[in-house]
Structure 1
Amino acid sequence: MAQATLSLSATGKEWSKMRSYFDAHLRSFMRKVLADCSASISELKRNPTALLAESDGAPIAILNHNKPAAYLVPAETYEWIMEMIDDQELSQIVEKRRQEKHKAVSVNLDDL
């Protein structure tokens, strides 16, 4: 009886291609849910107010076929996030201007 052998030899380049292919496909199937609460789109349609109340201000991942499709955040949470982003942007402007302080021109207010 003849034995068949299976050769699993592949070059580094071939393995790299296969890994890239599987990584890309796994990413499309599996996505990290960045919220402690989640609900389906159907649940959201049924009673959005109840979802917001249950989340107690935390973001809710809205899932479509068990993948995050959107995140729902209460208005207060969204406003807080926007303030934090604005503060960060202002902080970057301040830091940039501090670094350019040597370019500043001295002005006497009485001369204006």
Structure 2
Amino acid sequence: MHRILAEHTVSMTELRKNPAQYFTDEPIAVLSNNKPAGYMLSASLFEAMIDLLEKQQANQQFTAKFRPTAEQLKAIALHGQALIEQATDEDLSEFSE
């Protein structure tokens, strides 16, 4: 049994069809072979999570090493969407269901 830390899930097959729709203000678990492979979330939610981690761990001197802006995250997401749309089944063979 695998731990899924989201109320909603999407398969890799469905994700490939329109990845941008899964960048929401709630995490969405991405499943590969019915196992969580990762999570999709909006830039604002990701930023809020990093801010919360930094506040909670201020005494431990935690600093996020990956701090892109919302614009950079959008560009990364669009680039990822383009790569997924252009990928062949062979390219994505390790993510088959």
Distance (Å, rounded) in 1 between the aligned partners of 2:37 and 2:50? 21
User: Are 1:38 and 2:6 counterparts?
Assistant: no
User: Are 1:61 and 2:29 counterparts?
Assistant: yes
SS at match of 2:57: helix
User: Are 1:78 and 2:46 counterparts?
Assistant: yes
Q: Looking at both structures, which has the greater relative contact order when contacts are Cα pairs under 8 Å and sequence separation is at least 6?
A: 2
TM-fit CA distance, 1:51: 2.4
Distance (Å, rounded) in 2 between the aligned partners of 1:39 and 1:70? 10
Q: Percent identity?
A: 34
Runs of 4+ in 1 over 3 A off after TM superposition: none
TM-fit CA distance, 1:43: 1.1
In structure 2, give the amino acid aligned to 1:77. L
Higher helix share goes to which structure? 1
Cα-Cα RMSD: 1.5
In structure 2, give the amino acid aligned to 1:51. Y
TM-score normalized by the length of structure 2: 0.57
Deviations 1:48-91 (A, max 9, x none): 12223xxx410000000111010111110000000000111214
* Residues matched between the structures, number: 61
Extract unaligned runs of 5+ from structure 2: 62-97
Match of 1:90 in 2: 58
Extract unaligned runs of 5+ from structure 1: 1-29, 94-112
